[in-house]
Amino acid sequence: MTARLALSAAAVACLAAGCGGGGSAATSQTGDSARSPAPRRAAAPARLVARRPCRAIAHFDCATLVVPLDHSGGAPGRLRLRVAIQRTTKDPRGVLVALTGGPGQPGVPFVPRIRTRLGRALRGYRLVMLDQRGTGAHALRCPALQRAMGSSDLTVPPANAVTRCAAEIGPARRYFTTADTVGDLDALRAVLAPGRSASTASRTAPMSPSAMRSPTPTERLASCSTPSFRTTTSIR
């Protein structure tokens, strides 16, 4: 339940902020002349590290996906996302990334349930699950907002709780959005199956239109529900 509630704060924060990855710096001016903004450095590529057999999940390796906080390279920082990767040589159909819902649920602990639910549909795929940014061991936490939301995904939060959450997370809150998660998925695909497409099964935000417009080489998208969010408070 803690993980589920943790990203209730993140989801409200990101969606209220417009779900955009950080904006570009404004150009400063002195007198009549304008000073050009400094060029951005390219974000360092993602890396998969510490891969070893999962302790509690048979036939899966657990690893850490190290990704940029800001995929555009405009802000420094890295995030470490836990990943579970099925060990199989029978994956002619490629990688299938299953995304949990909630919002706020991590992915790795749900591997056994997903394997059971999908069953025969997984034949020919290598199943991969990850803790999306803002969830899992490094989940965003806003106690006041989480108490106000309870276990609901749709409760309209008090404005003061949203504002307080924004202050607690700080400026990095703008990088916990659907677009950033899509960037993480693209990075995961690139390190697991370079040059190949991936299939994605989801029930939450990364299946939104902004995700489907992404250039990520995704072969198939499968969704079992349509997300609905309501918020009236900006936390930018």
Q: Is residue 48 part of a domain?
A: no
Q: Is residue 33 part of a domain?
A: no
> For residue 175, what are its two tokens?
């990088």
Chain segment 49-64, per-residue pLDDT in tens: 999 999 999 999 999 9
pLDDT band at 25 (very low <50, low <70, confident <90, very high): very low
Q: Is residue 40 part of a domain?
A: no
Cβ neighbours of 71 (radius 10 Å):
21
In the chain, how many domains are there? Answer: 1
Q: How far apart are CA 160 and CA 228, in angstroms?
A: 22
SS3 47: strand
Q: Is residue 25 part of a domain?
A: no
pTM recorded for the entire structure: 0.71
Query: Considering only CA atoms, which of 163, 131, 170 is closest in space to residue 22?
Result: 170
C-alpha pair distances (Å), 144 with each of 155, 160, 164: 14, 9, 8
Alpha helices in 127-177 (DSSP H): 143-149, 159-169
Has residue 219 got a pLDDT over 90?
A: no
Q: How far apart are CA 96 and CA 81, in angstroms?
A: 17
Chain segment 113-167, per-residue pLDDT in tens: 999 999 999 999 999 999 999 999 989 999 999 999 988 878 899 999 999 999 9
Q: Is residue 180 part of a domain?
A: yes
Q: Is residue 52 part of a domain?
A: no
Range of the domain at 190: 2-20+57-223
Q: Is residue 69 part of a domain?
A: yes
Average pLDDT over every residue of 209-230: 53
Tell me, what's the pLDDT at 81? 97
Q: Is residue 229 part of a domain?
A: no
User: Which residue has better confidence, 38 or 44?
Assistant: 44
Strands (E), the chain: 29-30, 33-34, 47-53, 60-68, 78-86, 94-98, 125-130, 198-202, 218-223
